[in-house]
Amino acid sequence: MQRPSARTADQLRDITLEAGVSLHAEGSCLARFGNTHVLCTASVEDRVPSFLRNTGKGWVTAEYGMLPRSTHSRTDREAARGKQGGRTLEIQRLIGRALRSVTDLTALGEHQIKLDCDVIQADGGTRTAAITGAWVALRIACEKLLLSGAISRQPMSDQVAALSCGVWQGMAVADLDYAEDSTAEVDANFVLSADRGLVEIQATGEDRPFTRTELNQMLDLADAGCGQLFEMQMKAVRGSF
* Residues contributing to the site for a copy of itself (CB under 8 A): 22-25, 28, 35, 39, 41, 43, 45, 63, 65, 67-74, 77-80, 82-90, 92-93, 97, 101, 114, 116, 118, 120-121, 123, 188, 192-193, 195, 197-206, 208-212, 215-216, 219
Q: At closest approach, how far in Å is the CB of 157 from a copy of itself?
A: 10
Toward a copy of itself, which CB reaches closer, 170 or 209? Answer: 209
Toward a copy of itself, which CB reaches closer, 1 or 80? Answer: 80
Q: Helices 212-239 and 126-148: crossing angle, nearest 10°?
A: 40
Toward a copy of itself, which CB reaches closer, 8 or 47? Answer: 47
Q: At closest approach, how far in Å is the CB of 142 from a copy of itself?
A: 16
Output phi, psi for 42, to 5 deg: -110, 125
Q: At closest approach, how far in Å is the CB of 54 from a copy of itself?
A: 18
CA dihedral sign of residues 222, 224, 225, 230: positive
Toward a copy of itself, which CB reaches closer, 94 or 236? Answer: 94
Q: Is 31 exposed, middle or buried (0-12, 13-18, 19+ CB in 10 A)?
A: buried
Q: At closest approach, how far in Å is the CB of 203 from a copy of itself?
A: 4
Toward a copy of itself, which CB reaches closer, 72 or 235? Answer: 72
Nearest in space to 61 (alpha carbons), one of 6, 108, 7: 108
Toward a copy of itself, which CB reaches closer, 90 or 231? Answer: 90
Q: At closest approach, how far in Å is the CB of 107 from a copy of itself?
A: 16
Decide if 60 contacts 105 (C-beta within 8 A).
yes
Calculate the alpha carbon distances from 177 to 5, 158, 184, 207 in Å: 8, 28, 10, 18
Query: DSSP string of 170-206?
Result: TEEEES--HHHHTT-SEEEEEEEETT--EEEEEEEES
Q: At closest approach, how far in Å is the CB of 154 from a copy of itself?
A: 18
Toward a copy of itself, which CB reaches closer, 8 or 204? Answer: 204
Rounded to an integer, what distance in angstroms lies between the CA atom of residue 58 and that of residue 108? 5
Calculate the alpha carbon distances from 40 to 33, 69, 89 in Å: 13, 18, 17
Q: At closest approach, how far in Å is the CB of 9 from a copy of itself?
A: 20
115: enclosing H helix or E strand: strand 112-121
